[in-house]
Amino acid sequence: MVETSIDDIVEHAITSSENRHQLWVRLVSDLNCVLLCEVGVWKGQFAEMLLGQIPAIEAYTLIDPWRNLPDWNKPANRSNIEFEQIREEALYRVRPHMDKVIEIRDTTKNAQQHIPDGSLDFTYIDGDHTLRGITMDLFSMLPKIRKNGFIGGDDFTKTIWQHSNEFSPSEVFPYAIYFCEARGLPIYTLPFNQFLIVNDPSGFRVIDHGGYADLTPAQIYTQPKLQSLRKKLKKMLKS
């Protein structure tokens, strides 16, 4: 029997998916991940979706402080009262699967102390997308992933200006690629602003299914308004 490679699994998941939820159901299923963790649960839609569609999941750890964080300058940083309601909604969504759910209500840096090293097949990161946040999440969670296990993530946006400039930039991309290069790990860029890291220290490589390779530093780091002004200026100079 010929074993299907990770490359083939990823390619099949991409070609048969119309959105990120379909993509991750196929990837988690076909990569035989049964011990899962999610960092940044918010209202629980992603956990509800995976638990509802993949019966093989044995355990699903939810990591989220569900409280206002004074050093997190992002639109999702709500009041403590709002976060209580958000947490209640998340737990309601996963209620049919509570026999599989483990809740750790804390930041990733603190929560990781309660998870044994090498115990997880897959972690999905959708928490603090600032440079500080993605650094904390990747460094905290990688040791918790078994050899040849996986880290996936959301908001792998092609510009760091995901929100208006009153908020901190989102730097999941390109930081996750630099992290993999430093650790010697493969990383897949995926459609729908997603990424997949394999905990395989055989060597760094980028398998670019998301179309990131041709991005210039100006496209990644320059604010959209400035990019627009530069384009207008170039047109004026050419005319």
93 domain-assigned: yes
Dist. CA 91–CA 97, nearest whole Å: 10
For residue 45, which phi and psi values (nearest 5 degrees)? Answer: -65, -40
Give 69: exposed, middle or buried? Use CB within 10 Å, 0-12, 13-18, 19+: middle
DSSP 94: T
**Tell me: the pLDDT tens digits for 179-233?**
999 999 999 999 999 999 999 988 999 999 999 999 999 889 988 765 554 555 5
Mean of pLDDT over the chain: 90
189 domain-assigned: yes
More confident residue, 168 or 96: 96
98 domain-assigned: yes
Dist. CA 204–CA 176, nearest whole Å: 12
pLDDT over 70 (residue 32):
yes
For residue 177, which phi and psi values (nearest 5 degrees)? Answer: -70, -40
Residue 21 and residue 197 in contact, taking contact as beta carbons nearer than 8 Å: no
85 domain-assigned: yes
Percent pLDDT > 70 in the chain is 87
Average of per-residue pLDDT across 151-158? 96
Question: Which CATH number characterizes residue 122's domain?
Answer: 3.40.50.150
pLDDT over 80 (residue 76):
no
DSSP 145: E
SS3 for 196? strand
What band does 165 get if pLDDT is binned at 50, 70 and 90? confident
1 domain-assigned: no
Q: What is the pLDDT of residue 85?
A: 93
> Domain limits at 174?
6-238
110 domain-assigned: yes
Least-confidence region, from 10-19, 103-112, 140-149, 225-234: 225-234
198 domain-assigned: yes
Dist. CA 216–CA 214, nearest whole Å: 6
For residue 38, which phi and psi values (nearest 5 degrees)? Answer: -125, 130
Residue 187 and residue 233 in contact, taking contact as beta carbons nearer than 8 Å: no
Q: Which long-range contacts (CB under 8 A, 24 or more apart) does 92-96 make?
A: 92/44, 93/43, 93/44, 93/45, 93/47, 93/48, 94/44, 94/47, 94/48, 94/51, 94/60, 94/62, 96/51, 96/52
How many domains in the chain?
A: 1
Dist. CA 40–CA 138, nearest whole Å: 13
What band does 66 get if pLDDT is binned at 50, 70 and 90? confident
Dist. CA 35–CA 123, nearest whole Å: 9
**Tell me: the pLDDT tens digits for 94-117?**
999 999 999 999 999 999 999 999
More confident residue, 212 or 84: 212
pLDDT over 80 (residue 125):
yes
* Residue type present at position 33: C
52 domain-assigned: yes
